[in-house]
């Protein structure tokens, strides 16, 4: 078998953990499998590098940030190869340039386009464990790029697809995908299985246990994933096309604090205004999530929506620059909000799911500011301070508590 194993930052945070990972990979190698390992930067290295950059230049270019961030993963792979060497197993570390992992040109948030597999295959043929840097790629100028925070998961899935691997295992600091972040909802339950579609919504709505693009890619190429802990041997969670959800209406609750609300007040109530407002944001490549349009006064209306909190300042500046043309009186914003969502394929065919969620929030005395729905999810925007209570209340209302 060819197995791709990915270990996150906490799994390689120190010497002991590096040897723990090395040993787990060597087990598979000694069982006769070909092993490709994808690593993240050690512990909180990426955060540390970002802080260093911000200290030198808070407006540093995205290109230089990527040049800096890619060093984190290089440290992990080199040390891992050394650890395996110390354990007497031949291993080689490779970065994105050496493998040639081609991405789009955008720095900081690029997408993988193609991975050359020649070098990896050669090394595997030479009976080596191949250790590859997660999170990074190269663009057409041969500059380093990164795939967005948490992107090592995507590197692993992309490699598994490109190499037609038999298994893709994501090792992290929890032993699977839970019905909610177990750090926030202590009685969350581990799911045995979850569908790609649900996991994709879940990841996109804040369950950072998997990078959302990794799930997108796993679905596209039919790569079954297993999420497990690097620190114990517990059975993990399998992410696949069809899963047995044991008749669950809702499979989980997620929260996302990287959100902000913006309102464009008093725009003219006429055709084309919404188009112009959102076009203004699209030009800046700012994505919008929940949208709410409300009737204003005397032929005007207000348009509110959420954007990633990290995009808020840029969005507000862009809107203010054009607002006079729409007759807008004001652009207001609030970055003390958060999204709480429920996800579940079961809700598609069941009435009353939204009512149940809102009732739970009402019982916890939590005010809903905006609501967004899609086929298998419902999202509410609430005050950030209410997130924990909201998650626990909703989790409990759907009987997800263990
Ligand atoms: P890694 O460094 O291994 O990639 P991450 O920190 O990116 O790990 O992801 C693992 C974390 O995801 C867990 O520690 C947990 O707090 C968080 N998490 C959020 N939602 C969930 C969930 N539904 N199930 C499991 N973990 C979750
Ligand atoms: N090291 C990167 C990050 O912290 C990538 C990853 O961990 O997946 O975001
Ligand atoms: Mg991660």
Q: What is the DSSP string of 89-153?
A: --EEEE-HHHHTEEE-S-SSS--EEEE--HHHHHHHHTT-EEEEESSEEE-TTS-EEE--TTTHH
Evaluate the CA torsion angle 351, 347, 370, 337 in order and state its sign.
positive
Q: Rounded to the nearest whole angstrom, what is the distance from the C-alpha of residue 207 to the centroid of ligand 1?
A: 7
Torsion of CA 359, 360, 361, 362, to 10 degrees: 50
Average pLDDT of 352-359? 94
- Please determine, for residue 245, whether its predicted confidence score (pLDDT) is greater than 90: no
* Chain centroid offset of residue 303 CA: 28
| Least confident window among 180-194, 212-226, 234-248 | 234-248
Token couple for 23: 């040993």
Closest-CA residue, ligand 2 atom 8, reads: 150
Rounded CA-CA distance 147/109 in Å is 5
Q: Rounded to the nearest whole angstrom, what is the distance from the C-alpha of residue 227 to the centroid of ligand 1?
A: 10
Cβ-contact 88, 24 below 8 angstroms: no
Domains detected in the chain? 2-173 (3.40.1160.10)
- The pLDDT score that the predictor gives to residue 347 is 86
**335 phi and psi angles, rounded to 5 deg:** -110, 30
> Is 174's C-beta closer than 6 angstroms to any atom of ligand 1?
yes
Helices (H), 126-226: 152-162, 196-204, 212-221
Helices (H), 8-95: 15-30, 45-56, 62-86
Token couple for 3: 């197995």
For 118-174, the pLDDT digits (tens) are 999 999 999 999 999 999 999 999 999 999 999 999 999 999 999 999 999 999 999
Nearest CA among 231, 180, 209 for reference residue 360: 180
- Please determine, for residue 63, whether its predicted confidence score (pLDDT) is greater than 90: yes
> Is 280's C-beta closer than 6 angstroms to any atom of ligand 1?
no
- Please determine, for residue 246, whether its predicted confidence score (pLDDT) is greater than 70: no
303: Cβ–Cβ under 8 A, 6 or more apart, which residues?
263, 264, 267, 273, 274, 277, 291, 292, 293
- Please determine, for residue 402, whether its predicted confidence score (pLDDT) is greater than 90: no
Q: How confident is the model at residue 250 (pLDDT cuts 50, 70, 90)?
A: very high
Q: What angle do CA 72, 215, 378 make, to 5 degrees?
A: 115
Q: How many CB atoms lie within 10 A of CB 397?
A: 20
Q: Which residues does ligand 2 sit against, CB inside 6 Å? A: 8-9, 40-41, 46, 72, 134-135, 149-152
CA dist list (Å): 318 to 55, 283, 322, 323: 27, 9, 7, 9
Q: How confident is the model at residue 243 (pLDDT cuts 50, 70, 90)?
A: confident
Crossing angle for the helix pair 196-204 and 212-221, to the nearest 10 degrees = 160
Query: Which residue among 181, 387, 400 is best mutated to probe the pocket of ligand 1, counting the most ligand atoms within 8 A of its Cβ?
Result: 181
For 265-317, the pLDDT digits (tens) are 999 999 999 999 999 999 998 999 999 999 878 889 999 999 999 999 999 99
Q: What is the DSSP letter of 59?
A: T
Rounded CA-CA distance 154/140 in Å is 20
Q: Rounded to the nearest whole angstrom, what is the distance from the C-alpha of residue 206 to the centroid of ligand 2?
A: 15
Q: Rounded to the nearest whole angstrom, what is the distance from the C-alpha of residue 258 to the centroid of ligand 1?
A: 16
Q: Rounded to the nearest whole angstrom, what is the distance from the C-alpha of residue 210 to the centroid of ligand 3?
A: 6
Q: How confident is the model at residue 112 (pLDDT cuts 50, 70, 90)?
A: very high
- The pLDDT score that the predictor gives to residue 295 is 84
Atom of ligand 2 nearest to the CA of 148: 9
Rounded CA-CA distance 181/265 in Å is 36
> Is 191's C-beta closer than 6 angstroms to any atom of ligand 1?
no
């Amino acid at each position: 078998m060819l197995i791709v194993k990915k270990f996150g930052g906490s799994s390689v945070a120190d010497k002991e953990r590096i040897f723990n990972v090395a040993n787990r990979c060597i087990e598979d190698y000694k069982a006769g499998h070909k092993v490709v390992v994808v690593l993240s930067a050690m512990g909180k290295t990426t955060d540390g590098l970002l802080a260093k950059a911000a200290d030198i230049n808070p407006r540093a270019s995205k290109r230089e940030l990527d040049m800096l961030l890619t060093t984190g993963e290089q440290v992990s792979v080199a040390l891992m190869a050394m650890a395996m060497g110390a354990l007497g197993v031949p291993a080689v570390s490779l970065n994105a340039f050496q493998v040639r992992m081609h991405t789009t040109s955008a720095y900081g948030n690029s997408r993988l386009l193609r991975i050359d597999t020649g070098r990896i295959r050669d090394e595997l043929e030479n009976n080596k464990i191949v250790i590859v840097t997660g999170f990074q790629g190269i663009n057409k100028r041969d500059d380093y790029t990164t795939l967005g925070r948490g992107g090592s998961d995507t590197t692993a899935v992309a490699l598994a697809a490109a190499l037609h691997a038999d298994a893709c295992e994501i090792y992290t600091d929890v032993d699977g995908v839970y019905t909610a972040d177990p750090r926030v909802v202590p009685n969350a339950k581990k799911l045995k299985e979850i569908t790609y579609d649900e996991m994709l919504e879940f990841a996109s709505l804040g369950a950072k246990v998997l990078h959302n693009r990794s799930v997108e890619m796993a679905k596209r190429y039919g790569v079954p994933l297993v999420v497990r802990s690097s620190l114990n041997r517990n059975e993990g969670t399998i992410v696949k096309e069809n899963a047995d959800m044991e008749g669950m209406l809702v499979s989980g609750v997620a929260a996302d604090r990287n959100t902000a609300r913006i309102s464009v007040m008093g725009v003219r109530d006429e055709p084309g205004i919404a188009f112009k407002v959102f076009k203004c944001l699209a030009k800046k490549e700012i994505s919008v999530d929940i949208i709410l349009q409300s009737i204003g006064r005397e032929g005007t209306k207000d348009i509110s929506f959420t954007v990633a909190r990290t995009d808020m300042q840029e969005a507000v500046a862009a809107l203010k620059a054009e607002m006079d043309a729409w007759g807008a009186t004001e652009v207001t914003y609030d970055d003390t909000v958060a999204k709480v969502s429920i996800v579940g394929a079961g809700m598609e065919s069941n009435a009353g799911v939204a009512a149940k969620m809102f009732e739970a929030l009402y019982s916890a005395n939590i005010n809903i500011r905006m609501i967004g729905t899609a086929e298998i999810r419902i999202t509410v925007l609430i005050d950030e301070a209410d997130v924990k209570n909201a998650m626990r209340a909703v989790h409990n209302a759907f009987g997800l508590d263990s």
